[in-house]
Structure 1
Amino acid sequence: MGAVTSTAPSPGSPDSSLLDLAPVIPVVIVHDVADAVPMARALVAGGLPAIEVTFRTPAAADAIRAIAEEVPDAVVGAGTVLSPEHVETAVAAGARFLVTPGWTDRLLGALDASGLPFLPGVSTTSEVVALLERGVEEMKFFPAEAAGGTAYLKALASPLPRARFCPTGGVNASNAAGYLALPNVGCVGGTWMLPSDALAAGDWARVESLSRQAAALRD
């Protein structure tokens, strides 16, 4: 296949990258569509405008659509994208970026054809090199902690300086700053600003407060 690129202009600015919108991209699993809009508003109010809604529940596409239509300051994307069909569904719902846990040539082709910024998932050096060969320089490092964490990414920085990462998987409030200090990490993905008890109670003020703390990690 020909060269593809994940560095299409991000929704925030014509010249900026998806990795530069905020230090943390919340990784969201929506079970009830009714929660999508208030949750997104709380995340945005806390300083986390890029929101990854994962295709892990039947509510995902409707949640993306609701956020896209009702929270204009949010940059809503689709995560756990596993197939060209997922790409098509995400685009139709109004997603503004795409994230995958891994990639194949077929999936990469669909991501590129979407015209949206995307972060294909990698966990090995060979996968990173293969994407660099195809012109993709921005990637999701997943599962970050299980795949080697900050030590692994630090080791990649010198031989593969063009690659930039969004580590996700095991990243939390206690270790996020260590990832963000690395020169090849643009942002991290995580769920810690969305504790299950706060979601169950609809405690959006707590979500906003935790999001503000996460957004301040690079201040």
Structure 2
Amino acid sequence: MNDRTAQLEATLTLGPVVPVVVIENAADAVPLARALVAGGAPAIEVTLRTPAALDAIRAIAAEVEGAHVGAGTVLNPADLDKAIRAGATFIVSPGSTPALLDAAEEQLVPLLPGAASASEAMILLERGYVLQKFFPAEAAGGASMLRSLGGPLPGIRFCPTGGVSTKNARDYLSLPNVICVGGSWLTPRDLVAAGDWNAIEQLAREAAALR
């Protein structure tokens, strides 16, 4: 296991659920992250889907003790560079391209690349990625698909994301080839907009107890 893989494994095993967060207002980033950390979900994926995302990563990295902030929806080398400069300690992509993988191999910050099929997982495994995101999890076959992949691809562990919720998270977490799950249900838009950090902390506590 190389250093990047070990670093990523340490992050993904901090809790059973990695919150997948969309932040519209950078001012929400610090109190939101503090609530997640207090609830036991310290590995936080901030998706690069909004103009506020990089500022949010920067603020969490600088101000939230105990947070392990990552960047999600990283699509290309430019996204990768911006996320790392903002302070992301891990990178998540929905899929992979040769350009992105080449750029990631030049960085010390680990990448969790996405795969949705056996072929994609095998291509990533050839490049040394034994930790992969399974995305979009439910649409790509759900827990039964991952169970099937476990036989021929026992060396890969997945973080399924996409359609994962409190209703099916345990189905995934019970599989030996699942290291954790990614979920957006810990930070619903209405609670974030209302600044209800206590409710988000409680959702994080419930998620932390899933395994």
TM range (shorter): over 0.9
Query: What is the identity percentage for the equivalent residue pairs of Structure 1 and Structure 2?
Result: 60
Distance 1:147 1:163 in 2: 17
2: distance between equivalents of 1:182 and 1:77? 24
State the SS of the aligned residue for 2:140. coil
Q: Partner of 1:143 in structure 2? A: 136
Letter of the structure 2 residue corresponding to residue 7 of structure 1: T
Query: Paired residue for 2:84?
Result: 91
In the alignment, what sits opposite 1:9?
7
Per the TM alignment, residue 6 of structure 1 is displaced from its structure 2 partner at its CA by 5.4
Q: Which residue of 1 aligns with 2:21?
A: 28
| Counterpart amino acid of residue 193 in structure 1 | L
SS at match of 1:56: coil
Q: Which of 62, 73, 79 is the equivalent residue of 2:72? A: 79
CA distance in 2, matches of 1:208, 1:35: 14
Of 37, 46, 54 in structure 2, the residue corresponding to residue 44 of structure 1 is: 37
Corresponding pairs, count:
210
1:19 CA drift (Å) = 2.5
- Amino acid of the structure 2 residue aligned with 1:28: V
**Which segment is superposed worse, 102-111 or 48-57?**
102-111
C-alpha distance in 2 between matches for 1:196 and 1:91:
26
Contact 1:46 1:209 in 2 (8 A): yes
Q: Give the whole-Å Cα distance in 1 for the aligned partners of 2:141 and 2:106.
A: 31
**Aligned 8 A contact 1:37 1:70 in 2:** yes
Deviation at 1:5, TM superposition (A): 8.3
Q: TM-score normalized by structure 1?
A: 0.93
5+ residue gaps, structure 2, are none
Aligned CA distance change for structure 1 residues 151 and 5 (closer, same or farther; 3 Å)? farther
Distance in 2 of aligned mates of 1:153 and 1:143: 12
1:157 aligns with 2:150: yes
| 1:106 and 2:99 are equivalent in the alignment | yes
Q: Which residue of 2 aligns with 1:55?
A: 48
- Residues 6, 160 of structure 1: CA spacing in aligned structure 2 closer, same or farther, 3 A cutoff? farther
2:169 to 176, 180, 191: 176
**Aligned in 2, Cα 1:6/1:101: closer, same or farther, shift over 3 Å?**
farther
For 1:111 and 1:22, locate their aligned partners in 2 and report how far apart those are by CA, in whole Å. Answer: 25
Aligned to 1:187: 180
Unmatched tracts of structure 1, length 5 or more = 11-15
Deviation at residue 72 of structure 1 after TM alignment: 2.1
RMSD of aligned alpha carbons = 1.3
Amino acid at match of 2:102: G
Q: TM-score, normalised by structure 2?
A: 0.96
Equivalent residue in structure 1 for 2:116, among 106, 123, 127:
123
Distance 1:25 1:103 in 2: 20
Q: Which runs of 4+ in 1 moved over 3 A?
A: none
In the alignment, the residues of structure 2 paired with residue 204 and residue 5 of structure 1 have an alpha-carbon distance, to the nearest angstrom, of: 35
Distance, in Å, in 2 between the alignment partners of 1:112 and 1:102 is 16
Task: Work out the CA distance in 2 between the residues paired with 1:19 and 1:155.
Answer: 22
C-alpha distance in 2, partners of 1:21/1:114?
22
